[in-house]
Amino acid sequence: MENRNVFSVSQINEYIKSLLDSSQFLSRVYVKGEISNFKNHYQSGHYYFTLKDGSSLIKAVMFQSYASRLPFMPEENMSVIVCGRISVFPRDGVYQIYAENMEPLGKGSLYAAFEQMKQKLAEKGFFDGENKKEIPRFPHKIGIITSPTGAAVEDMKNIISRRYPPAEIEIYPALVQGPGAAEDLCKGILHFENDETCDVIIIGRGGGSIEDLWAFNDENLANVIFYCKTPVISAVGHETDFTICDFVSDLRAPTPSAAAELAVPDKAELKSLLKSFSSRINSGVNSVFSSKKAVLDNLREKKCFSSPGYLLDRYSELLASYDRRISISFEHKNESAKASLAAVSARLAALNPMNVLSRGYSAVFDKAGKVVSSVNDVKEKDKISIVVSDGKINAIVSE
pLDDT for 189 equals 95
Q: Are 221 and 184 within 8 A, CB to CB? A: no
Mean pLDDT of 376-396: 89
Q: Is the pLDDT of residue 1 over 60?
A: no
Please give the residue that has the higher pLDDT: either 291 or 303: 291
Q: Give one DSSP letter per residue of 129-159, joined into a string.
A: GGGPPPPPSS-SEEEEEE-TTSHHHHHHHHH
User: 3-class SS at 387?
Assistant: strand
DSSP 5: -
pLDDT of the residue at 318: 86
Strands 168-173 and 141-146: parallel
Residue 88 pLDDT: 92
Q: In the chain, what percentage of residues exceed pLDDT 70? A: 96
In a 3-state reduction of DSSP, which class is residue 202? Answer: strand
How many helices (H) does the chain have, and how many strands (E)? 12, 13
Which residues lie below 8 Å from residue 4, measured CB to CB, with a gap of 6+? Answer: none
Q: Is the pLDDT of residue 98 over 90?
A: yes
- The secondary structure of residue 3, as a DSSP letter, is T
Q: Which residue has the higher pLDDT, 126 or 390?
A: 126
207 by Cβ neighbours in 10 Å (0-12 / 13-18 / 19+) ranks as: middle
Which tops the pLDDT comparison, 221 or 311? Answer: 221
342-374 per-position pLDDT tens digit: 888 888 877 777 777 777 788 899 988 898 989
Residue 240 is predicted with a pLDDT of 63
Residue-level pLDDT at 106: 64
Beta-sheet pairing, 363-366 with 383-388: antiparallel
Mean of the pLDDT values across residues 103-114? Answer: 74
| H-run or E-run covering 258 | helix 256-263
Task: Give mean pLDDT, residues 197-210.
Answer: 88
The neighbour count for residue 374, using CB atoms within 10 Å, is: 7
Name the pTM for this structure: 0.53
Dihedral sign of CA atoms 33, 35, 37, 41 in order = positive
What pLDDT is stored for residue 108 in this prediction? 62
CA distance 69 to 77: 21
**Mean pLDDT along residues 268-297:** 85
Q: Which of 53-57, 142-146, 264-268, 342-346 has the highest mean pLDDT?
A: 142-146
Identify the pLDDT of residue 313. Answer: 75
pLDDT, residue 114, reads 83
Angle at 379 between CA 376 and CA 381, to 5 degrees: 160
DSSP state of 198: -
Q: Is the pLDDT of residue 308 over 70?
A: no
Taking CA atoms, 237 is separated from 80, 177, 201, 213, 320, in Å, by 29, 12, 17, 8, 91
Residue 207 and residue 176 in contact, taking contact as beta carbons nearer than 8 Å: no
What backbone phi and psi angles, to 5 degrees, belong to 368? -85, -5
Question: For residue 75, what pLDDT band results from cuts at 50, 70 and 90?
Answer: confident
**Rounded to 5 degrees, what are φ and ψ at 30?**
-110, 120
